[in-house]
Amino acid sequence: MESMAIADCLREQFPEEILQTQTFQGQTAVIIRPGRVVDILRWLRDAEAVRMNHLRSLCGVDNARRKDPNLSRFEVVYHLTSIPLRHEIRIRAQVAEEQPCIDSVVCLWSGANWLERETYDLMGIRFNNHPDLRRILLPEDWQGHPLRKEYPLKGREEWAGMTDLLNRVKELDQFGFNPKADASGQFGPNPEKQP
């Protein structure tokens, strides 16, 4: 089926939820409200004519600097494809700026588990009903969400855990463990040879 035809079917099925349809370079994106995202994706997965059985990717986008005024602050983008029928579609669920959250689709594809954790970690969008929503790529005590547009490319401070780590080194130092001395002895310039 053509992507546009799928988008039309979707509009027929969920007239309240579809906000807009966009096509660029032959790929169709359907912009939806976040409320019934699980129902929409379940319909796309199970409907006989569509059968989108493969969730290709799931990611979050920060729309803070995009020009389109109709978009919310965040969106979660799902790429679906049908392996038997060989067609694909992109679903963009709009998520509000205040306490961004959306329903989890782990109940449909168990592989979405890590993708949603990644989106939470890097973009700060929470997923309701997620079995294990923790940070995944960054340390657990990390502050902020790096893929948001206001997050700086280069930070001024050290990672908070670094202080703990250095204190731990000092503590071990009492027992004769001195990494600095070892390092300078092995790799640093030899003080005796210097003039």
Partner 1 sequence: MTSPLKQTLECPVADGEGERYSLRMGPQHPATHGVLRVDLELDGETIVECTPQVGYLHRGFEKLAENRTYSQALILTDRLDYIAAMANNVGYCLAVERLLAISVPQRAQYIRTIVCEMSRLASHLLWLATHALDIGAMTVFLYCFREREILLDLFEELCGARLTFSYPRIGGVRQDVTTAFVDELQRFLQLFPSKVAEYETLIDTNRIWLKRTVGVGVVSGDEALALGLTGACLRGSGVDYDLRKHQPYDAYDQVEFEVPIGSDGDIYARYRCRMEEMHQSVRIIQQCLDQLPPGPIIGPDAPDLIMPNKAPARMEAGTNRYGTGLIRLIRDRSCYLDGEIYVATEVPKGELGFYFISDGSSRPYRMHIRSPSFIHIGALAAIARGEMVADLIANIGSLDVVLGECDR
58 contacts: CB under 8 Å, gap ≥ 6: 76, 77, 78, 79, 105, 112, 115, 116, 119
Closest approach, Cβ 96 to partner 1, in A, equals 19
Site for partner 1 in 103-162 (CB under 8 A): 109-115, 118, 122, 136-139, 146-147, 151, 153
Query: Is 43 a binder of partner 1 (CB under 8 A)?
Result: no
127 contacts: CB under 8 Å, gap ≥ 6: 101, 102, 103, 104, 106, 116, 119, 120, 133
Which residue in 59, 71, 101, 133 binds partner 1 (CB under 8 A)? 59
Closest approach, Cβ 103 to partner 1, in A, equals 17
Closest approach, Cβ 181 to partner 1, in A, equals 24
- 3-class secondary structure, 31: strand
Spatial separation of the C-alpha atoms in residues 174 and 86, rounded to whole Å: 65
By CB under 8 A, name the binding residues for partner 1: 24-25, 27, 29, 53-57, 59, 61-62, 65-67, 77, 79, 83, 86, 90, 109-115, 118, 122, 136-139, 146-147, 151, 153
